Amino acid sequence: MKAVRFSLFGGPEVLEVVDLPDPVPGPGQVRIAVRAAGVNPSDWKKRAGLMDEELPQTLGHEAAGVVDELGEGVTDVAVGDRVYGFSPDGAAQAELTVLSAYAPIPASLDFPGAAALPAAVETATRALDRLGVGGGVLLLVNGAAVQLAVGRGARVIGTAGPANQDHVRSLGAEPVVYGAGLVERVRALAPDGVDLALDVAGSGVLPELIGLAGGAGHVLTVADSAGARQHGVEFSSGDGGRALHALGDIGELIESGRFTLPVAQTFPLAEVAEAHRAGERGGARGKLVLTVG
């Protein structure tokens, strides 16, 4: 099968599409013929040598496709089913991949739309679970977690750039512009501050969030591990256990129109280097996705 791999650390030019052995699903796993795979910031961090030291490395943690082989004990899906989920080996950007956590693709989604979901939805759900976000809570947040928090019945204040205020409002949140003066703008909407705050951007605002939420214990970050240590805030990563139930739970919200995650741009697998360049440039509203076949 064809798969993305790199044997040297460096820029996008080190990425190759090479022939690798077909993977074999283990107990409880499924193999899919990949139709689309998500591209994430961790991909270019890995490629640059900022995360894992071993070489060579494959890439990709999330994919969508059609089941073509079942591991031992799998009874909840069948060969031919459309599913999406997580690759345990970081090898989803390939013609075939094994998924260790998976769910049926919501009927209204195509393969790129499904491949965009797993990492974003799991991260947001894990953070909201850890914070205990539910009905009646006033939450300050940005990113995909806005829609999920609104879906739980929370009142949400969402931070975004000036050009994205209407977009945040369309998601069911009260928008505020991030940057200097954030605290004053939030207090204009919530004079007594907020109950909880979630940092998904890692933009150095933890002290402001702590002040608004009434203490470090009411703040969680998924993007600023150094700031979390410095300010006594909880940092949540997948290493502490992932919210895999999100894969199955999100379907109802999608089908009812209460959650969307746009695909900003798709690239053929062979153009993975261009996808990395686009991601590193930034500015895209939505997910970058590789298509296969």
Q: Which tens digits make up the pLDDT trace of 44-56?
A: 999 999 988 999 9
Please give the Cα distance from 208 to 284 (Å, whole number). 26
And the tokens for 217? 């214990």
Tell me which DSSP letter residue 106 carries: P
What pLDDT score was predicted for residue 284? 75
CB 255 within 8 A of CB 108: yes
Please give the Cα distance from 246 to 103 (Å, whole number). 9
Report how far Cα 69 is from the mean position of its chain's Cα atoms: 26
Domains and CATH numbers, the chain: 2-117+261-291 (3.90.180.10), 121-240 (3.40.50.720)
Please give the Cα distance from 72 to 23 (Å, whole number). 14
Q: What predicted TM-score, i.e. pTM, was given to this entire model?
A: 0.91
**What's the mean per-residue pLDDT of the chain?**
94
Please give the Cα distance from 79 to 72 (Å, whole number). 13
Q: In sequence order, what are the residues at sequence separation of 6 or more whose Cβ sits closer than 8 angstroms to the Cβ of residue 263? A: 112, 113, 116, 286, 287, 288, 289
Q: Compute the C-alpha angle 32/33/39, nearest 5°.
A: 85
Please give the Cα distance from 267 to 286 (Å, whole number). 14
What pLDDT score was predicted for residue 240? 64
Other CB atoms within a 10 A radius of the CB of residue 170 amount to 12
Q: Which of 172, 159, 160, 165 shows the shortest CA–CA distance to 209? A: 159
Please give the Cα distance from 90 to 81 (Å, whole number). 22
pLDDT digits (tens, 9 = 90+) for 157-174: 999 889 889 989 998 999
